[in-house]
Amino acid sequence: MDVLINVFVGLHIIGIASLLGGFLTQMKAMGAGTARFTPPMLHGALTMLVTGIALVGLNQAQDHTLNNVKLGIKLAILVVILGLVYVKRDDEKVEKALFGAVGGLTAVNIFVAVLWT
Ligand code: HEM
């Protein structure tokens, strides 16, 4: 089961790469106000949700203790990210502030995950 948990952590990290990568590759476009939420960003955010929930289940099945407050905060932030990316997925341009907010919130979630031990 531990191998399965590690596989899902790997998939969770692939999700971060897709979401954050989609943001980072468009930082120049963001400056010009022409960035858009691309399919890898939406799929990355969905991957985070699915793998995160799977990780909670797998850890609980193994009686591993999880920090529920930390996970609740990560889930709340991800719901905001997913909502923004989903609603604006067909917009050809997204305002600078909104696009920046998705990148910023993703970075916040990464630091919540790694600094809150
Ligand atoms: C953008 C959103 C997210 C980011 C950037 C993120 C980031 C990370 C990172 C870097 C790790 C590995 C380091 C660690 O073990 O803490 C991790 C693990 C984990 N994440 Fe996420 N995560 C996100 C969303 C979620 C969501 C929504 C859930 C579930 C509600 C979740 C549940 C978990 C679990 C259960 C683990 C492994 C168990 C542990 O804390 O040791 N994550 N996440």
Mean pLDDT across the stretch 71-87? 98
Could you tell me if the CB of 115 is within 6 A of ligand 1?
no
Q: Kindly give the distance from the C-alpha atom of residue 34 to the centroid of ligand 1, in angstroms, as a whole number.
A: 30
Residue nearest to ligand 1 atom 38, measured at CA: 55
Could you tell me if the CB of 18 is within 6 A of ligand 1?
no
Is the pLDDT reported for residue 110 higher than 90? yes
d(CA 45, CA 47): 5
Is the pLDDT reported for residue 4 higher than 90? yes
Say what the pLDDT of residue 80 is.
Answer: 98
Mean pLDDT across the stretch 21-28? 98
Give the domain extent around 95.
2-115
Say what the pLDDT of residue 1 is.
Answer: 78
d(CA 15, CA 58): 18
Q: Kindly give the distance from the C-alpha atom of residue 65 to the centroid of ligand 1, in angstroms, as a whole number.
A: 14
Mean pLDDT across the stretch 25-45? 98
Number of domains in the chain: 1
